[in-house]
């Protein structure tokens, strides 16, 4: 198979959201902490009628419908998620009724889990399958689905929720440059979910930021090394049109891109001009550890990186800023933002993605865009996802109602024997929702 990659994409996020500005006032933190400090605009969340299964049912069915895909044409289905609904039964199996209805049960793949990295693992599995000798000629489907919720406190404003479905096959408009990959895997307790009775993670916020940046440095080093070996020339930021990051909150994305600029400076890459070199020179002798804790380096490198950030990163930030951290879906929502904003000019361009999942697993990899042909074109992807309309038609909840919803969801997590309100008035037609969990913990969904 040639030019294997993403043929089609659909995104779903709950229509219920809370403004970060309202949350700042409600939480009694200083004005600007969430909006400027974290760089976030809005946070989407599931109410009691939605969960990771209903969101992925919605994303998959709308993708199949809108691109006119026959469910029989799917030969592999992989789900990435860190939201545990069941310790054994995969989310993938909840999606099988969509395919069973057309007589297709011959579909490989189950769920992949490691914090926000599961979606990337699922995606690599699917791409590798299409490129392998076990490929049967049909397409793969990857679903990233998560509800990111935190206990009350500083991490809560970094929540979010979404599902993304991606069709994988040959002759794609978003092609994997599979040779260019750099990974960093390590043992860390930065963010984890050891309490199986709670949906909330245990999180060491500061440590998670440092782990993220260390993994970024390491992945970039490996990525550049592999690129240089294969292409016989140095890689620098100038070799890609866009950089897409896993986005827990926008401020970390700003810091990450600045970190890449600092890396290019240390590697003496051509992407860094003379004035920037002068500004970064005072930091050239810092040790690794010192460089992660230097506030001055953080400030100066962000300032130096700003024009390049505006050009190469800003167009990827729309959905993550407006929806929040979507865990496994976050990186691909950033990619969807880029397609939404730039689909008319992406053809021929390279984009570098950085995937990070706490615990920890991280990979930097490369994609190349082609205009493609309908229905598998960049412009059709943008039309199908219709991000602007989805964002505009949302319903803002006051913070009090958001907090109330979080409390109800704490009780509902892992519970049995209840029916939901079945109130789907805020959901758009075609959206799946949870109706009941019976005495055997079996979950039931309906479609609006
Ligand atoms: N106006 C403008 N900026 C402000 C204001 C204000 N009024 N108040 C604070 N800030 C800035 C701070 O200076 C800081 O920015 P800086 O890092 O550039 O200095 C930023 O706002 C955040 O303030 P902190 O005091 O650092 O925030 P706090 O420690 O309370 O929480 C944190 C932030 C740690 C990110 C928390 O939200 C968290 O734990 N989130 C979850 C963990 C996470 O997402 N980690 C990322 C990788 S792992 C993953 O993807 C889950």
Strands 16-19 and 395-396: parallel
251 annotated to a ligand binding site: yes
Does ligand 1 lie within 6 Å of residue 251's CB atom?
Answer: yes
What averages of pLDDT result for each successive group of 10 residues across the chain (448 residues)? 96 98 98 98 98 98 98 98 97 98 98 98 98 98 98 98 98 96 98 97 97 98 97 97 98 98 94 95 94 97 98 98 98 98 98 98 98 95 98 98 98 97 97 98 98
Q: For residue 384, what pLDDT is reported?
A: 98
Going by C-alpha positions, the residue among 254, 52, 256, 40 that lies closest to residue 154 is: 40
Does ligand 1 lie within 6 Å of residue 31's CB atom?
Answer: yes
Buried b (16+ CB within 10 A) or exposed e, 413-448: beeeeeebeeebebbeeebbbbbebeeeeebebeee
The Cβ-side half-sphere exposure at 300, using a 13 Å CA radius, reads 17
Say whether 50 is catalytic: no
**Per the residue annotation, which of 10, 78, 82, 298 is the catalytic one?**
82
Cα dihedral value 407, 411, 417, 418, nearest 10: 0
For residue 37, the CA-to-ligand 1 centroid distance in Å is 6
Radius of gyration of the chain (CA): 21
- Count CB atoms within 10 A of the CB of residue 153: 11
For residue 38, the CA-to-ligand 1 centroid distance in Å is 5
Of 28, 38, 149, 326, best ligand 1 pocket probe by most atoms within 8 Å of the beta carbon: 38
Predicted TM-score (pTM) of the model is 0.98
Interface predicted TM-score of the whole assembly (ipTM), two decimals: 0.99
Does ligand 1 lie within 6 Å of residue 208's CB atom?
Answer: yes
The residues pairing with 12 across neighbouring beta strands, listed in sequence order, are 163
Q: Provide the domain count of the chain.
A: 1
Name the E strands within 328-431.
350-357, 361-369, 372-373, 376-377, 395-396, 418-419
Does ligand 1 lie within 6 Å of residue 36's CB atom?
Answer: yes
Q: For residue 213, what pLDDT is reported?
A: 98
Cis, peptide link before residue 191, omega less than 30° from 0: no
Say whether 116 is catalytic: yes
| Residues 171 and 137: beta-carbon distance below 8 Å | no
The parent domain of residue 300 ranges over 5-447
3-state secondary structure of 188: coil
We report the CATH number of the domain holding residue 393 as: 3.40.47.10
Separation in Å, CA 203 to CA 20, 160, 193, 314, 409: 21, 16, 9, 27, 19
For residue 439, the CA-to-ligand 1 centroid distance in Å is 41
């Amino acid at each position: 198979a040639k030019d294997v990659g993403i043929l089609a994409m659909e995104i779903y996020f709950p229509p219920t959201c809370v403004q970060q500005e309202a949350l700042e006032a409600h939480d009694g933190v200083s004005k600007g902490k969430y909006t400027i400090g974290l760089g976030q605009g809005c946070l989407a969340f599931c109410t009691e009628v939605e969960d990771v299964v209903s969101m992925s049912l919605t994303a998959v069915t709308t993708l199949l419908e809108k691109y006119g895909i026959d469910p029989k044409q799917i030969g592999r289905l992989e789900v990435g998620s860190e939201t545990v609904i069941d310790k054994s039964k995969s989310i993938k199996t909840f999606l099988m009724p969509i395919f069973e209805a057309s007589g297709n049960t011959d579909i490989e793949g189950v769920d992949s889990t490691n914090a926000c990295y599961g979606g990337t693992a699922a995606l690599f599995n699917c791409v590798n399958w299409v490129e392998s000798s076990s490929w049967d000629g049909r397409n793969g489907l990857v679903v990233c689905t998560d509800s990111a919720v935190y206990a009350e406190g500083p991490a809560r404003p970094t929540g979010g929720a979404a599902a993304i479905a991606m069709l994988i096959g040959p002759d794609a408009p978003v092609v994997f440059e599979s040779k260019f990959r750099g990974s960093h895997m390590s043992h860390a307790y930065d963010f984890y979910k050891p309490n199986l009775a709670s949906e909330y993670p245990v999180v060491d916020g500061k440590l998670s930021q440092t782990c993220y940046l260390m993994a970024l440095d390491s992945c970039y080093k490996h990525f550049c090394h592999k690129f240089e070996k294969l292409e016989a020339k140095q890689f620098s930021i100038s070799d890609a049109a866009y950089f897409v990051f896993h986005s827990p909150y926008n401020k970390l994305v700003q810091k990450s891109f600045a970190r890449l600029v600092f890396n290019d400076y240390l590697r003496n890459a051509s992407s860094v001009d003379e004035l920037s070199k002068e500004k970064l020179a005072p930091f050239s002798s810092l040790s690794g550890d010192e460089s992660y804790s230097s506030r001055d380096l953080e400030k100066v490198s962000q300032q130096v990186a700003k024009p390049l950030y505006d050009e190469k990163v800003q167009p990827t930030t729309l959905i993550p800023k407006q929806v929040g951290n979507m865990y496994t879906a976050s990186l691909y929502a950033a990619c969807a933002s880029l397609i939404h904003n730039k689909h008319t000019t992406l053809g021929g361009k390279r984009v570098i993605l950085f995937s990070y999942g706490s615990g920890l697993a991280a990979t930097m990899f490369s994609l190349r865009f082609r205009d493609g042909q309908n229905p598998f074109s960049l412009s059709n992807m943008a039309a199908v996802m219709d991000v602007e309309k989805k964002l505009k038609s949302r319903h803002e909840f006051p913070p009090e109602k958001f907090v109330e919803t979080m409390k109800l969801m704490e009780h509902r997590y892992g519970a049995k024997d209840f029916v939901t309100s079945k109130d789907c008035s805020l959901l758009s037609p075609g959206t799946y929702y949870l109706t009941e969990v019976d005495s055997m913990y079996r979950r039931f969904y309906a479609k609006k």
